[in-house]
Structure 1
């Protein structure tokens, strides 16, 4: 009888111990399960946070390049005085000698017209004539001397056109110049106002 009671006590103890062990295991499993799954709490905390707005980009004002203004340089205006005209000594000059025709025919007398400039302020009388030069220092010929009164200022006078020459084969080239003869029969050449000689070329052809 006692052995049977003991066995029954042992069996009951084992059942109680087994139930306790099962309860502890279940509790342990439940506790481990509860602590190992905090996702709902984390998700709720994350969703509860207020999103911080990203800072808006600051607008940068772009300035157009400013043109550099260079100060205008002022040019100094220098007043220039007119060049004074050369003073022409008082006298009688020639300024032009025209010949018509410039290409005369053999034995044809060309016309010589001289432009005089008298700066003396009063008429002057001259015995004047035209000398004809070829390629030699000495004159080839001359017109007859003509006595004329040259008025003050500018005057055009025609020479005594009696000079002529002949040629049968080639053209001859000449230069005409204006001269005058004083009371002592000394020959002088009329000059231009700049004190140079005046000569005009022409030709005589067959």
Structure 2
């Protein structure tokens, strides 16, 4: 497995995904957030208070995943979804080293560690949870991926990138795939 799946620019705080599924996740979540920003509590973003909503959306999209978090001084700082040995959040797919690099930037402190998270941990830390919004975001993520690359191709890319053969996408969230002839322009000739 690669040590890095992202290029992080500390001067701007931006992330460039190096993997195709990482880019698909980041792009789909950015589109979804643009549509639902007003639904996030207290005007938080996907990476500044809304991480729990995004993590739960990713868990709904990938049922074999778990919650993980960045802890610093015993306090939960950031929640993400763990798939195999990789982590997924609004910035796409990350290795543990990618997460560490971003969290050092975000918190200004090199002290911290990745560890499993429960919903109770999220409640105690005051991280907002909105299961209704998480479900909508998961559905939109998978619908967008189905349109751009196809669910089967995306699932295969995720399995390969995460080195996690049991990883699957939750097809019950998505609308049935539309045959290509329905998406073609109608010809009156």
* TM-score band w.r.t. shorter chain: under 0.3
Structure with the larger strand share? 1
Structure-2-length-normalised TM-score = 0.21
Structure with bigger gyration radius: 1
Structure-1-length-normalised TM-score = 0.20
Structure with the larger helix share? 2
Which has the bigger relative contact order, CA under 8 A and spacing at least 6? 2
